[in-house]
Amino acid sequence: MTSRSLPALDYPLKLCLVPAQMRLASKNQIYLVTGGCGFLGKHLVEMLLEQEPKLSEIRVFDLHLDQSMRSWDRVNLIQGDISKPEDVKPAVQGAHVVIHTAGLVDVWGRVPPKKIMAVNVQGTKNIIEACVTQGTQYLIYTSSMEVVGPNIKGNPFYRGNEDMTYEAIHHHPYPLSKAKAEGLVIKANGQLMPNGKQLVTCALRPTGIYGENHLLMKEFYEKGLKTKKYMIRAIPASVEHGRVYVGNVAWMHLLVAQKIQDDPSTIGGQVYFCYDNSPYKSYEDFNMEFLRPCGFRLLGSHPLLPFFVLYLIALLNAILQWLLKPFCVYAPILNPYTLVVASTTFTVKTDKALKHFGYKPCFSWEESRNRTIRWLQEVAAEKQVEK
């Protein structure tokens, strides 16, 4: 990667090894990354620049452009609204592969449900239709583990795979929108295009993504400063979640983008969980892996409040949100949905991705942890300067 291609924060990528049976991208291909200025999208663009020297162009489609990316070699920034077909069609035209990461992630009620559906569902419809009409054969969709669960009953999902039976129940706008969008993508696999080719699609389901530039982690850090870096345990340490480093999510996208072209009959119409070797822990204990080196402390070996008290607080927050809706946006982190998600064990395996396209994490847990800590420490240093 040239100096002009480095991200704003100098977290150098490393050259990961592509499985021997897979080829690199063909010469002069064009990749389109929707949401390419977002948390995952930007990491993916960086990795494509590093790993795919033969790509002639990487198009980055986003509503809010990161102007620092304009100087990156082979990157073409395109501003547009994913929910508007007239914006999507020109961006897709001439692309060989579309990696659709654009989406609204909101489980707190900060965004109106209609907006979530417009971006996540209608936006995905627009991408599919543009691929078909423009003859772009390969579409990879960034889905979510929340397409499966945790469900609102709190049923655990322990080291599950894509074929494991689990009652997925979707009422909240975000998981509902992702489930609908993923369904559209998988259903579109095999659709005949005007050029005589068939559309080939697949979907990746990352668990909770973390890493440098993660806005939610930064928000947790800033909230912790208000409580003098002391945090109170709310969830039992026995609850386990699978979290995945953003660099490894980008790596899986890159691998499947290569394999979908080499072996479309294997990849087409498939869904894959996306996880790495990060430890299974509760959200609180996992976040402390990065916050503790910054001086934070988690109080209590057991929750200080019983679950029913937490649920009453979450329910009260939901009622207040509804009452205040005409006047302001009240969107606390704790609500009935986020409480169930945080309190329910949900862990996955990636055996299918290993079997189908040789996925193994590019970044170890130690590397992923150190990169995230380093970034948070830089955030802390910036806060000190602001004072």
For residues 85 and 224, give the distance between their C-alpha atoms in angstroms, rounded to a whole number.
42
* Phi-psi category of residue 159: left, alpha or beta, with phi > 0 → left and psi -120 to 50 → alpha: left
Q: Report which of 63, 27, 62, 33 is spatially closest to residue 46, judged by C-alpha positions.
A: 33
Is the bond leading into 150 cis (omega within 30 degrees of zero)? yes
Catalytic residues: 174
DSSP 2-65: -GGGS-SS------PPPPTTSPPPPTT-EEEEETTTSHHHHHHHHHHHHH-TT-SEEEEEESS-
DSSP 320-364: HHHHHTTT-----S--HHHHHHHHS-EEE--HHHHHHH----SS-
> Is residue 231 within 8 Å of 297, Cβ to Cβ?
yes
Angle, alpha carbons 178-184-188 (nearest 5°): 150
Q: Report which of 43, 88, 86, 44 is spatially closest to residue 62, judged by C-alpha positions.
A: 88
The burial of 17, by beta-carbon neighbours within 10 Å (0-12 exposed, 13-18 middle, 19 or more buried), is given as: exposed
DSSP state of 241: B
Within a 10 A sphere around the Cβ of 1, how many other Cβ atoms? Answer: 17
Q: What is the CA radius of gyration of the chain?
A: 21
DSSP 284-297: HHHHHHHHGGGT-E
Per-residue b or e along 328-354, where b marks 16 or more CB atoms closer than 10 Å to that residue's CB: eebeeebbbbbbbbbbbbbbbebebbe
